[in-house]
Structure 1
Amino acid sequence: MASRADNIASNFSFSKFSQATELKNRIWFTIGALVIFRFLSFVPLPGIDPTALAGLADQTRGGVLDIFNTFSGGSLERMSLIALGVMPYITASIVVQLAAALSPTLGALKKEGESGRKKLNQYTRYGTVGLTAVQGYFIAVGLESLAGQQGIAAVVAPGIMFRVGAVISLVGGTLFLMWLGEQITSRGIGNGVSLIIMAGIVAQMPTFVAQMFEGGRTGSISGGLILGLIVMILSLIVFICFMERAQRRVLVQYPKRATQRGVMQADRSHLPLKVNTAGVIPPIFASSLLLMPLTVSQFAGNSANTDSAFGSFIVTLNQYLQHGQPLYMTLYAVGIVFFCFFYTAVVFNPEETADNLKRNNGFIPGIRPGKNTATYLDYVLTRITVVGAAYLAFVCVLPEYVIAQTGIPLFFLGGTSLLIVVNVTVDTVTQIQSHLLAHQYGDLIKKAKLKGRLR
């Protein structure tokens, strides 16, 4: 049945696309929202000197802020209204979900259904405002201190008014992106927040590709290295596509039922368990948690006295947690593995799945319904999550190691960026095919009803 539906989708998707008015409206809305996002990335904060800021970006290139800058589509480099992007929102989501898993009160809210979900979303928004305000304040203080530390007057008129204006602007920009992502999810195609992150990464691709080939032309990068990087990237894309479609299909059997011919026949189906149930969430969460303190420490380090104990600590922290350093890659891999298991436990509940199977008289052959089924599903899910976590850690850490060894700042093709782009693209295309398939079946139902009336 699934293969037949796939054949229908592939044969009729393009021919019926012009007739799917709702799908076209959703796609145009998504494109329009992403265009607005790109326009906002070029609107600078009030009181910023763009020329001086460009010089600062050249001096700090290759540091941890380049990763943040890639996720924001260059907004941090230009210090625009949306310089922090949606990362504070993602970090707040991590905190709320962890609290919901650990706190009985928040856990009870999560079980209340739609009303509880709305309350948790409200807490996430409050957390987003707080995190953006803290990060925005440190960014404003760090920009002011650049005139004394590096001789770059990035701020025209330093003072309390600039700090207040910068914090308000950054908070407003992040909240607008959060709202825009929710609108894309409800009225467009795909997950809005993921699409915004992907749009920022894709927007940086032409610049970095041009830099790589310019390095090959000038001789700073060998042609063999460029060819090897291209082969590695294409291989990773194929590997990601294969692993994202990999699943463990658990056989589910239902009691025998009488057919129209009076034959007793048992129904069988499969419970698909994806190898990577968490998707792109673990790398995004791990990156967010690493980027938040590093961003604060890097800007705070500009304003701190390097001779003091605090200043020397900040400098040492930034050195050990720089892009490609062993400590950074270790923490990154550990964060990915942790969030892979954590988010899988959040999105898939073995007890609930076992209860649903029991209510529908379904069972796994050789496993008793109820608690034993839940234990078996948890066992299977844990084993395949180990494979999924290892896959995510490998895909994300390998490009980081290559970047550190070669010195080529291909942050847009780092493991996290590549994983986000491939996953979001596949998910969006899948949703488009689902809309086209639903439209095709809708037309068939209408034709069947019309023929029935004519008869």
Structure 2
Amino acid sequence: MFTAFARAFKTPDLRKKLLFTLGIIVLYRLGAHVPAPGVDYAKVQQCIDQADSGGLLGLMQMFSGGALLQITIFALGIMPYITASIILQLLTVVIPRLEALKKEGQSGTAKITQYTRYLTVALAILQGTGLVATARSGALFQNCSVGDQIVADKSIFTTLVMVITMTAGTAAVMWLGELITDKGIGNGMSILMFISIAATFPGALWAIKESGKLADGWIEFGTVILIGFVMVALVVFVEQAQRRIPVQYAKRMIGRRSYGGTSTYIPLKVNQAGVIPVIFASSLLFIPSLIVQFSGSTAGWATWIQDHFVTGDHPYYIAVYFVLIVFFAFFYVAISFNPDEVADNMKKYGGFIPGIRAGRPTAEYLSYVLNRITWPGSLYLGLIALVPTMALAGFGGANQNFPFGGTSILIIVGVGLETVKQIESQLQQRNYEGFLR
């Protein structure tokens, strides 16, 4: 990995792309520390150490690089774009018009991207309004005595300015991500997501060291680092694992030329769903506690939810979380990979799987293989996502501060691997030595 980056900096055009990407990253991190207008920054810093960043709030805090609770201009971060992309991907299966656009190629993809941008802005307005309303009421920092003084001016004008600023910040983040994709290295949105998560690691690690009791916290600190290395190794191993379905293309004579006759394969990843099931399960599990929080009810059902689904270390929460991850893994794989469509395309171009008849038998075989490899993939996702909960037994407060959570590790390792692969592929294009050499 480090060798690839060293060689990339020696190549002029790649060095220019890498420096451009680093410049965008610096701008993004600067924007994550600029307070939104109307926010009392001193009181925010006073409350931020006492904040409870669990559930969906913790997920948004992670994707914003710690900017959410500081109520900065980039407070919403990349989360509205991620949500909009997931929604559009799900709607593509449901709405025939979007499905037709997806099949149109580059022009259709450009149109879906435009819809994603519009939806991102709409979601940013919605989430920004919710964040400002929560900050004004003092509910953002429930354990802080000055939580209701964060936004001193509670007028409609100030609220509108704050919402517009955060929405513009989200649009700027989206633009910065697209700039990286066009003129830098890697997928821009993934790079910004990577930076947002990595930015929270040093503070989280130091918080564990400060709260530790063995050898001034250094034993806990070292143990967490060791767990992190083991998890990274496990994630790299599983993320790279795939089942390769061999495909043979028959020879075809068109005029005097012979086409086809090649062998290739269909790569089916063990973790075909990526990190999406973990995000879905986390968001869904936060809804009951959100309902209780806004209803203010003290009835029996509200107390039961508070006891069983607010803290992540309760057995009910763990069991439901694990089952939801497994369910969403199968659900997302089912809507993102269509065996019938793959089988039809293979049949159209004269391809077949050795030993399997083309058409319907091929689709059934692909579906069978996909279901078999999704089981270990979904169980792996569930175990990785529960690491912070299991760490809670050994490290007090790990549910909030444990840096090597399943979602963060999956995203960091996945983005890192894809970026390094892209750098290596571009290096190979520029340093390829053919037969004439």
TM interval, short-chain normalised? 0.7 to 0.9
Secondary structure at 1:251 match in 2: strand
Counterparts of 1:26-425 in structure 2, within 5 Å, are 26-64=17-55, 65-146=57-138, 150-152=145-147, 153-216=149-212, 223=219, 225-255=220-250, 268-287=263-282, 297=290, 301=293, 306=296, 320-326=309-315, 328-330=317-319, 332-403=321-392, 406=395, 407-408=397-398, 409-425=400-416
Q: Using the TM superposition, give the Cα deviation of residue 13 of structure 1 relative to its aligned residue in structure 2, in angstroms.
A: 5.3
Give the RMSD, CA atoms, in angstroms: 3.5
Q: What CA distance in whole angstroms lies between the structure 1 residues aligned with 2:371 and 2:271?
A: 11
Kindly provide the amino acid, as one letter, of the partner of residue 38 in structure 1: R
Post-superposition offset of 1:19: 5.3
Q: How many residues align?
A: 422
* Deviation by residue 1:78-115 (Cα, 9 ceiling, x = unmatched): 11011111112212222222222123333333333333
**Counterpart amino acid of residue 155 in structure 1:** V
Question: For residues 357 and 399 of structure 1, do their structure 2 counterparts lie closer, same or farther at Cα, with a shift above 3 Å needed?
Answer: same
The 8 Å contact of residues 253 and 269 in structure 1, kept in 2 or not, is answered as yes
After TM superposition, give the deviation of residue 243 of structure 1 in Å: 0.6
Q: Which amino acid aligns with 1:340?
A: A
**TM-score (normalised: structure 1):** 0.81
- In the TM superposition, residue 162 of structure 1 has moved relative to its aligned partner by 1.8
State TM-score, norm by structure 2. 0.84
Post-superposition offset of 1:320: 2.4
Aligned equivalents of 2:262, 2:50: Cα separation in 1: 66
Q: Please give the alpha-carbon distance, in whole angstroms, between the structure 1 residues aligned to 2:307 and 2:96.
A: 37
Inter-partner Cα distance in structure 2 for 1:41 and 1:13: 30
Per-residue CA deviations over 1:157-214 (Å, capped at 9, x if unaligned) read 1111121111111111112112222222222222222211211111111112222223
Please, which moves more after superposition, 25-34 or 360-369? 360-369
Shift of 1:346: 4.4
Structure 1: 5+ residue stretches without partners: 1-9, 258-265
Of the structure 1 ranges 90-99 and 80-89, higher mean CA displacement relative to structure 2 is found in 90-99
**Distance between the aligned counterparts of 1:127 and 1:404, measured in 2?**
41
Name the aligned partner's letter for residue 26 of structure 1. Answer: K
**Partner SS state of residue 154, structure 2:** coil
How far off its partner does 1:77 sit?
2.4
Q: What secondary structure does 1:271 align onto?
A: strand
Change (3 A) 1:113 1:271: closer
Q: Distance in 1 between matches of 2:288 and 2:431?
A: 50
Query: Structure 2 matches for 1:19-30, cutoff 5 A?
Result: 20-30=11-21
CA distance in 2, matches of 1:168, 1:108: 34
Of the two, which has the highest radius of gyration? 1
Q: Could you say if the C-alpha distance between residues 434 and 339 of structure 1 is closer, same or farther in structure 2, counting changes exceeding 3 Å?
A: farther
The Cα offsets for residues 26-51 of structure 1, whole Å up to 9 and x where unpaired, read as 21221111111100001101011111
C-alpha distance in 2 between matches for 1:151 and 1:17: 50
Once the two structures are superposed, residues 368-403 of structure 1 have per-residue CA deviations (whole angstroms, 9 ceiling, x without a partner) of 112211221121112112221111121112333323
CA drift at 1:282: 3.3
Give me the whole-angstrom Cα distance separating, in 2, the residues matched to 1:177 and 1:378: 38
1:280 touches 1:423 (CA, 8 Å); kept in 2? no
How big is the shift at 1:415? Answer: 1.0
CA contact (8 A) 2:90 2:335 kept: no
Structure 2: which 5+ runs fail to align?
253-260
Q: Choose 338-347 or 37-46, whichever is displaced more.
A: 338-347
Deviation at 1:323, TM superposition (A): 4.2
1:368 aligned partner, one-letter code: R
Question: Which segment is superposed worse, 364-373 or 114-123?
Answer: 114-123
The answer (yes or no) to whether the contact 1:27–1:188 under 8 Å persists in 2 is yes
Distance 1:120 1:337, change over 3 A: farther
CA change 1:267–1:125 in 2 (3 A) is closer
